[in-house]
Structure 1
């Protein structure tokens, strides 16, 4: 994982103690990030600023001109759940933010998909909260 991506992921997961050393307050800053800012501050660390991907310590696929983005469902599942070297970002971002970053990628970097993903489209890929087992009497 790219160092920048790792630092941002750690800041988001570890909370204020770690985040204060890199000047990020995940409770405040993450909630206000737009799709473009999420790409710039999180995604481009692995997928690169031009979204052409990278190979090194891992393989980070290109998003530029990616035909897999034709359906908004594919990137929604990937961003929510992660896969391979990509961590799951579902716990860190709202449905609206995930839709926003996917819409950003699908309309930039040589991608010209015109349909937009909505937060409700993303919500269906979010795992249900764990249920509490019934109490024994």
Structure 2
């Protein structure tokens, strides 16, 4: 299972362009990403499918836009999808700790053309696991 996550991570990093592979080098037995900034994590993992500005993409599959996405108003929705995945989106919660997931959720809810209220915390993510 770890190989799948690392393969997805490597592919997403290669496609994102905004963050280099050096930003999130995996070493030793640590299976978690070392970065903590929501935008950097988004660029390394999410932007390969959802695009850098969150506009989404269609091609080998349909990757919904995150920019202007009303489904992100409630943070429980993206928390669930990041942890568990759905359809073409793999579950990536195992490669991020609770604080990293909260940072990504805050980034997609407050940036990318979104301006939803409230901050997601690591405790919110822990409660959803």
TM-score under structure 2 length normalisation: 0.78
Which 4+ runs in 1 deviate beyond 3 A?
5-8
Q: Deviations over 1:16-42 (max 9, x none)?
A: xxxxxx655224982224111111111
Cα deviation, residue 6, structure 1: 7.7
- Inter-partner Cα distance in structure 2 for 1:124 and 1:28: 21
C-alpha contact 1:8 1:41 (8 A) present in aligned 2: no
Structure 1: gaps spanning 5 or more residues: 12-21, 127-137
Query: Between Structure 1 and Structure 2, how many residues are aligned?
Result: 112
Structure 2: gaps spanning 5 or more residues: 12-20
- Inter-partner Cα distance in structure 2 for 1:87 and 1:8: 8
Greater C-alpha Rg:
1
Aligned ranges 1:53-68 → 2 under 5 Å = 53-68=56-71
Q: Deviations over 1:56-92 (max 9, x none)?
A: 1011000000000010000000001000110101111
RMSD between superposed Cα atoms in Å? 2.3
> Which of these residues, 91, 94, 104, is aligned with residue 91 of structure 1?
94
Aligned ranges 1:1-137 → 2 under 5 Å = 7=7, 9-10=9-10, 25-26=25-26, 27=30, 30-126=33-129
TM-score under structure 1 length normalisation: 0.73
Cα pair distance change 1:87/1:29, threshold 3 Å: closer
2:55 partner SS: coil
Cα deviation, residue 104, structure 1: 0.5
- Inter-partner Cα distance in structure 1 for 2:110 and 2:8: 24
Cα pair distance change 1:6/1:64, threshold 3 Å: farther
- Inter-partner Cα distance in structure 2 for 1:55 and 1:112: 25
